[in-house]
Structure 1
Amino acid sequence: MHTPTNSFNTLSTLEVNGKTYRYYALQGGELAGCAAVRRLPVSTRILMENLLRHEDGISVTRHHIEALAGSQGKAVEQEILFHPARVLMQDFTGVPAVADLAAMRDALAGRGADPFRVNPLTPVDLVIDHSVNVDSFGSPAAFDINVRLEMQRNHERYRFLKWAQGAFDNFRVVPPGTGICHQVNLEYLAKVVWQQPGKDGPLAFPDTLVGTDSHTTMINALGVLGWGVGGIEAEAAMLGQPVPMLTPEVVGFELTGALEPGITATDLVLQVVQMLRAFGVVGKFVEFFGDGLDHLPLPERATLSNMAPEYGATCGFFPVDAQTIRYLAVTGRDADTCALVEAYCRAQGLWRDAQSAAPDYAATLSLDLSSVQPCLAGPRRPQDRVPLPALREATEAVITQNGKAAELDTAFALPGGDDSLHHGDVVIAAITSCTNTSNPAVMIGAGLLARNALARGLQRKPWVKSSLAPGSRVVSDYLALSGLQACLDALGFNLVGYGCTTCIGNSGPLPEAVEQAVSRHQLVVSAVLSGNRNFEGRIHPQVKANWLASPPLVVAYALAGTTRIDLSREPLGLDSAGLPVYLKELWPADEEVAHWVHAIGRHMFTERYRTVFDGDAAWQSIKSDAGGNYAFSPDSTYIRLPPFFEARWRGNTGDIVGAPILALLGDSVTTDHISPAGQIPPDSPAARYLRSQGVLDADFNSYGARRGNHEVVMRGTFGNIRLRNEMTPSLEGGYTVLHTNSAGQTASPVFIYDAAMAYQAAGVGTMVVAGKEYGTGSSRDWAAKGTLLLGVRAVIAESFERIHRSNLVGMGVLPLEFLPGENRKTLALSGEERFDILGLDGKLVPQQLLSARVHYPSGECREITLRTRLDTLMEVEYYRCGGVLNFIFEHLAGASG
């Protein structure tokens, strides 16, 4: 670690409530009166402070600071190093990250070096929130049953995390059953202004973070700059490595006016997602400003910040203002913390109020909040907004696309009962996900709508699997206080767990009769959920139409039982007197929602978070080895020693020659397509492996829960049941065609995993070729790790999503982009071609143009140019070393030696 140079002489002092803090003043020293700094976007000012505080004349220089100061919110073609104050993890991504650190300790010991050099230098919080499954629902016992099954299935994973808690410094674990990591972060972990002790007094600086979940961005609502990274980058940050990045372009999003009565934050965010996806903000910061913020409470802002990955941005940032301080106080932060946040942000020019001038942005968009209308999004992408009146038509379009137009009005009997199922019926209605359960207004709105429906004698339809999975236990407290939990229970929205459930595919099985009918008749049925993601195959393998909606609308569609309905004018049911009941009659008044929101007390948060790290009796009973190196068991099917430090994965110095195409993919391929998190299909390579290890089908658990075992997850890579490989156009799923050097293709398609192993056995590296927006969605490090373990040397796409591109680099897989006007279609690729990528054995520079040759089966050879998406000098070095893990390993091994 280098000594700060403070060449701008900005180190200053700030007194708050009789205590003196040191801080790097954005308007101090040589920067005093600098108009360019005052006009920077607030999010850029936070990056500016980060550079000032870490200026060492080597990795951070005056040039970096001066370039950022003059950026005017525009992208600057220079690398900067961002040092986050902390790291946030969830268990799906956290387990493999911790396994990598444990493996690095083993590898260092094997080199004769000190394994305990592998230790977090940056504080880490890991929240266990991704492992509860909706097995039981619709009963008072559902929560207890699901928790018991969670602890049984994940005992080994949880024992591993308990080991990590004792083995690593600066590493805390929030036990299962507490809440969703982003909501726990918002309500408790975030400080807004961080403090670091020092001999000259505490140093105050902005709270910043990176997280191993793409929805880490939710914390930007609180004025905390943070975003999702892959577990690979997070591991580097944990070990003290900065996050390399290009100076980001900042897009300003002006909000004016106020939402009309009855319009929810969910309606707003789905419109914002649609607007920003159309505008194009991948790799950019979005910063909200305008007088509309005066009417937008912090939970509504959290809804907007949460879905930054859905609109493609690195983050969706809100400056600190009076709403921020009000939220900090209500959620239990002490008076000194609130006073420091306000004083520091005012002193630094990070404070927003009605008099604040709009900063300089690279571009701006504007939305009048009063224009927002009720809506949903789907059936498979969050940016595909559907106005409420148009859902019937949108559902029927999905049914038609699946070849079922002739059966639109056909009723299919449910086995063993009197009910029937139709295309378009709702089989899952889930109030779930950090996006909306962090917002009391929509949660209380759902409860009030349930109360009003009960008063009219309505019930959810019997084929609907309904569930309620709050993001924190505080939600249960205020729903109980208002009496609304009982109303939700009466409609089958009983508590099923605290954590991510349906939104990440932990929706559990459908009722047996429903599952049989859907499977037997290939029904196109719907899920309605208050989540942020609805990608293909994500929510449930049998559900093809997935609609994102506000919690009140989730309740409404559970009552209606179908999405082939226009709830703006059609009744969702008949009351006890046989009269039609319309949604507008049940929709709660804003005044009543506000009454119960204001009843939420500070004591609820302080009491719930007082014992946040303790866990229940089941968690406390888990015994784990203390400290030292982890004893990996070769017989484990959950936690295996990762192979990434083996010699074969170290170093990339040669050209790629004669590489066949493993998969030829289209646009908007998500990390769910590349590395699924849901159920393990019984006919998949992963299932075949688990059976060979003596695991019963009933105990497969999910891909996500088994991410600590590379043998399972690499077999699931490109294994999503909805993947469309253009090499096998008649098949959906993880299939490809295996090409040999001599005889062309085999007679029939094979699993991508099996083809990859055949190529590896022949000593042949492979390619993946794709369209636009490759790698959208979750910050899933296994989408890159699995790609590497399958033997893929490079991925060529028209464009990449930010996190996945970075993850590929982090694992030593080369991301390459076609130049404008060229793509897989203009090259007439069929998948039978082989690629040479030349120039990799020379000195690489960021975004270098490389020559490539495409060898066609006809014997024709075509030369093209590709751009490397190694965006910074540090990324070039990571790639050369075989990824960031091996870069850090070699550094630690050398330092120990």
Structure 2
Amino acid sequence: AEHPYNHLIDTLKDGRIKFFNPQKLNDPRYDKLPLSIRVLLEAAIRNCDGVYTKEDDVQNLLDWQQQQNEAEVPFSPARVLLQDFTGIPAMVDLAAMRDAVAKHGGDPGLVNPKCPTDLIVDHSLQIDYSKWCVSLKNQEVELIRNKERLQFFKWCSKAFKNVNVVPPDVGAVHQVNLEYLSRAIQVTDGFIYPDSVVGTDSHTTMINGLGILGWGVGGIESEAVMLGQPVSLTLPHVVGCKLVGSINPLTTSIDIVLGITKHLRQAGIAGKFVEFFGPGVSQLSVPDRTTIANMCPEYNATVSFFPVDQVTLKHFKKTSKFGRSDEKLELLESYMRAVKLFRSYGEPSEDPQYSEINLSSIVPCVSGPKRPQDRVAVSSMKEDFQSCLNEKVGFKGFHVSKEKQDKRVPFLHCGQEYQLAHGSLVIAAVISCTNNCNPSVMLTAGLLAKKAVEAGLVVKPYIRTSLAPGSGMVTHYLNTSGVLPYFSQLGFEVSGYGCATCVGNTAPLPDAVVDAIKQGDLVACGVLSGNRHFEGRLCNCVRANYLASPPLVVAYALAGTVGIDFEKEPVGVTSEGKEVYLCDIWPSREEVQQTEEDTVICSIFKDLRGRMEKGNTLWNNIECPDSLVQVPPPPSIENAHVLLFLGNKVLTDHISPAGSIARVSAAAKYLLSKRLTPREFNSYGARRGNDAVMTRGTFASIKLQNRFIGKPGPKTLHIPSGLTLDVFEAADRYQRDGVPLIILAGKDYGSGNSRDWVAKGPYLLGVRAVIAESFEKLHKNQLVGMGIMPLQFLPGDSADSLELSGKERFTITQPDSPSPRQRLTVQTSQGKSFSVTALFDTEMDVTYFRHGGLLRYVARTLL
């Protein structure tokens, strides 16, 4: 059939390039749309096929003012981005779908991503060696430890069309996306259109700083997009955030991020789009913008969008993103102006009327000790940590008695005696998450290290320091600027390229340090330049962790404690007894900008492209067989017992397997049965393609608060026997008896970063419904995609108000023809009944659920 919007086709470059021009609609509503909504509208016009995207969807987008937060609209992004932890289960599912299609007489070759998909192998790096060991050692161990996974990725790159695998030792997913994969525009079959992306990494939102619309989705949703299904979203509110004022010379982009995060959390913008405007935007470089955009999940926005402007064009030219072709840059600017996606921040007439943030009011901060939203001014850090010791156990408190707060524990390390106290630093990590894409903060940290070494300062050798750049580009400009040797002298040796400390891939601390922490029951600390630091995630014995900019990571490493007032106390004392203060060694903003201008040059980006295209010797030598996939069997569905009785704020970290595999866990018992030694266990993230390990690791968090047990830990009550068992062992007993399971929970179930195993794990444990007071929206979508019912108590109801013990049997009555937001009745074995709302937001949600989940639906569509 003829495309319904053929009359909107326009041309550039003497008719050689075509595009759909929404301005030819001659609809006055278009000029009033936020620019992020204009990107959604263009995609709807271009992909309008009458099936997945209809003309009504286009009209709903045009009518954004009236339809926001009401209408459901489809979005077909230009590409899909996967990192290896979330990418491996997605590719395993595609391989399993091939197997299913073949068994039903279909052509397995039909199962290929229709949407271009990039998979970056970046999460398997573990910091086994630090300090003065070269990164090559970590990389060699990474490739040996993860041989099976890497074989599978290499098989995927050959077996599937439209899949590009970026090998290990190139860079972190978000940084490779920024530096190499993103183009701001795409040209396919002679048509030009805006670049856009959905990704399974929580850092996908960084790309919005480059004027490219993108956000994170669950693994199930990403697979649907890969197979040609659009993402369905409620037409969002768009909040304008006006930036005014001048930036404080000591303020880094991470400080601006934390300031904006606090402001937007207070503004209540959950699930909304944020667009930045105002004269302050022009002061922010593209790396500054991407760092700000990266944190939008922390204030619960879907995206934080910086439209393309002159700063963006300058960045593209500097990075040779389009080669040396000025013609392509001209095409980019011409197209963006033609469809009114180009912003001039000097034109107030283009600005919407929204809230504003004064950049001059933002001061240097850190965030912690347990949550990214708990912002602490550096000037108040010493006082705040002291209050954390005093407060009762909670998000900020550790409840250490007064008589124990001054306790010091001596220990020996490398033949020398040291002391640990509350607040002592034992981990200092400059890692790939959030900051390493930003040359300004990395060079600030490097220049700070240089000045510290020149002043005669050192970092105590027992502190586990590490520098895990987001890509080889970072090492290149740190080396060119001359600061890398000073990083190394302080113990921040380049340990490899990829996510490391932030995802729990930290080798154990020295035994003497661990023993001292346990002996004194100390609140030891970690400081990292990431955006994830929930308690116990970095290391089980490190209870307080703070997010900070890279230069502040170096500063706290020099101090050896978080209990310091940098304005009044020296950051260190030289061997001659001279006190050195932070202000003595902090580089000026002008010095950093000049260094960046001199060192971050086009040749660096060419080097990155070469690394991507050539790979490395170890990767290139990996051989893979023709088939590697073992398909897990689908469990049956019948009646329901309660597997877990949970409270409020259950995080994805509590649900999904993450970090190292504990030696006493159900997963460890399984691996031992396969004759693996503990050193060969690897991490849960590295084994995401192994359903046997991942199912055993679901709800295996040491911080899980199950009301059946009454204390933190991965245990639950097997109700028929009355035994306390590992969660997997209890679920396994229920499944062998043919008993399906449900979960009872409180508010904000499933908060945190996206992981597909947050839904897959419970499904394979036999969970068929979760009844909670409220859900995090992305996790709710993941449950639907796996065929698990997300059921919400009615307003005012809860497990407590209904006097549920959790030990009842539950029967959930389902109608023959379910509909969105339908009320269902839950009947207990005690004779009590209550109503819940089934959180199927759209007809497509209902369709997925009726088919047993999204993957079964897509497989049947192919057949």
Seen in structure 2, the aligned counterparts of structure 1 residues 408 and 65 have a Cα distance that, compared at 3 Å, is: same
Match of 2:409 among 408, 412, 415: 412
Q: Does 1:679 align with 2:675?
A: no
- Corresponding position of 2:425: 426
1:134-180 deviation per Cα after TM superposition (whole angstroms, max 9, x unaligned): 111111x3302111110110011101100110001111111101111
Note the 1:775-814 alignment, pairs <5 A: 775-814=750-789
Aligned residue for 1:438, secondary structure, equals coil
Which residue of structure 1 lines up, in the alignment, with residue 84 of structure 2?
Answer: 91
Give the equivalent residue in structure 1 for 2:138.
146
Q: Which moved more, 1:797-806 or 1:397-406?
A: 397-406
**Contact preservation (8 Å) 2:785, 2:849:** yes
Question: Cα gap change, 1:203/1:695 in structure 2, threshold over 3 Å: closer, same or farther?
Answer: same
1:283–1:801: 8 Å Cα contact kept in structure 2?
no
Which residue in 2 is equivalent to 1:186?
A: 178
Which whole-Å CA distance do the structure 2 matches of 1:319 and 1:81 have between them? Answer: 21
Q: Is the counterpart of residue 102 in structure 1 residue 82 in structure 2? A: no
Equivalent residues in 2 for 1:721-736 (5 A)? 721-729=702-710, 731-736=711-716
Task: Report whether the alignment pairs 1:715 with 2:689.
Answer: no
Distance 2:400 2:439 in 1: 40
Partner of 1:528: 527
Distance, in Å, in 1 between the alignment partners of 2:192 and 2:507 is 46
Letter of the 1:851 partner, please give it: T
Alignment partner, residue 832 of structure 2: 861
Q: 1:869 to 1:332 in 2, by over 3 A?
A: same
**Partner in structure 1 of residue 727 of structure 2:** 752
Counterpart CA distance in 2 for 1:847 and 1:172 is 39
- Cα distance per residue 1:743-769 (max 9 Å; x no partner): xx71x5321112211222222222222
Q: Structure 2 length as normaliser, TM-score?
A: 0.95
* Deviation at residue 308 of structure 1 after TM alignment: 1.6
Identity of aligned residues (%): 45
Q: Which residue of 2 aligns with 1:636?
A: none
Q: Determine the C-alpha separation between the residues in 2 that align with 1:337 and 1:73.
A: 38
TM-score, length of structure 1 as denominator length: 0.92
For residues 552-563 of structure 1, what are the structure 2 equivalents within 5 Å?
552-563=551-562
The 3 A distance-change label for structure 1 pair 708 and 732 is: same
Instruction: Give yes or no for contact 2:125–2:500 (8 Å, CA) kept in 1.
Output: yes
Q: Where do 5+ consecutive residues of structure 2 fail to align?
A: none
Which SS does the other structure have where 2:487 is aligned?
A: helix
The aligned counterpart of 1:338 is: 329
Of 299, 316, 326 in structure 1, the residue corresponding to residue 304 of structure 2 is 316
* 1:475 paired to 2:488: no
Secondary structure at the residue paired with 1:820? coil
Aligned to 2:75: 82
Summarize the alignment of residues 131-170 of structure 1 with structure 2, pairs less than 5 Å apart.
131-139=124-132, 141-170=133-162
Matches within 5 A, 1:51-66: 51-66=44-59
* Aligned: 1:447 with 2:446: yes
Report how many aligned residue pairs link the two structures.
850
Distance in structure 2 (CA, Å) of the matches to 1:358 and 1:266:
30
Amino acid corresponding to residue 574 of structure 1 in structure 2: V
- Identify the match of residue 120 of structure 1 among 93, 110, 113: 113
CA-to-aligned-CA distance 1:855-886 (integer Å, 9 cap, x gap): 5xxx46142x3222211111110111111110
The answer on whether the counterparts of 2:407 and 2:520 sit within 8 Å (CA) in structure 1 is no
Give the corresponding residue for 2:289: 301
Deviations 1:384-407 (A, max 9, x none): 111112222333344443443332
1:620 corresponding residue in structure 2? 620
Cα distance 1:337–1:536, how it changes in 2: closer, same or farther (>3 A)? farther
Report the 3-state secondary structure (helix = DSSP H, G, I; strand = E; otherwise coil) of the residue aligned with 1:234. Answer: helix
Q: Deviations over 1:590-625 (max 9, x none)?
A: 110001111111111123213413211111110123
Runs of 5+ unmatched residues, structure 1: 633-639
Inter-CA distance 664–142: structure 2 relative to 1 (3 Å threshold):
farther
Match of 2:341 among 316, 339, 350: 350
Q: Name the CA distance, whole Å, in 2 between partners of 1:583 and 1:827.
A: 57
Residue 371 of structure 2: aligned partner: 381
Aligned to 2:737: 762
- Distance verdict in 2 for CA 1:642–1:343, change over 3 Å: farther
- Give the partner amino acid of 1:410: K
Distance in 1, Cα, partners of 2:462 & 2:266: 37
1:798 counterpart letter in structure 2? E
Q: Is the 8 A contact 1:473 1:498 kept in 2?
A: yes
- Tell me which amino acid in the other structure corresponds to 2:820: P
Superposed CA RMSD in Å reads 2.0
- The letter of the residue matching 1:384 is D
Q: SS at the partner of 1:419?
A: strand
Asked whether the equivalents of residues 73 and 249 of structure 1 are also in contact (C-alpha less than 8 Å), the reply is no
Structure 2 distance, partners of 1:664, 1:177, is 42
Deviation at 1:372, TM superposition (A): 0.4
Indicate yes or no: 2:17 matched with 1:21.
yes
SS across alignment from 2:165:
strand
Match of 1:637 in 2: none
SS of the residue aligned with 2:60? helix
Distance 1:576 1:798, change over 3 A: same
Instruction: Report 1:257-272 matches (<5 A).
Output: 257-272=245-260
Q: What SS is found at the alignment partner of 1:810? A: helix
Partner AA of 2:269 in structure 1: V
Alignment partner for residue 369 of structure 1, among 345, 359, 372?
359
- Partners of 1:538 and 1:676 within 8 A in 2: no
Shift of 1:360: 8.7
Q: Does 2:559 match 1:585?
A: no
Which letter does structure 1 place at the counterpart of 2:274? Answer: V
Quick check: 1:391–1:563 contact (8 Å CA) kept in 2?
yes
2:209 is matched with which residue?
A: 221
Deviations 1:274-316 (A, max 9, x none): 2323333332222222221111111010001111221212111
Deviations 1:689-710 (A, max 9, x none): 1111111111100000011100
- Is the 2:170–2:611 Cα contact (8 Å) retained in structure 1? no
After the TM superposition, which of the residue ranges 281-290 and 321-330 deviates more from structure 2?
281-290
How far did residue 493 of structure 1 move? 0.5
1:810 offset after TM fit, Å? Answer: 0.9
Query: For residue 631 of structure 2, what is the amino acid of its counterpart?
Result: L
1:105-130 Cα distance to aligned partner (Å, 9 max, x none): 11122222211111111111111110
Secondary structure at 2:648 match in 1: coil
Q: CA deviation at 1:673?
A: 1.1
Tell me how far apart the structure 2 counterparts of residues 20 and 351 of structure 1 sit (CA, whole Å).
Answer: 22
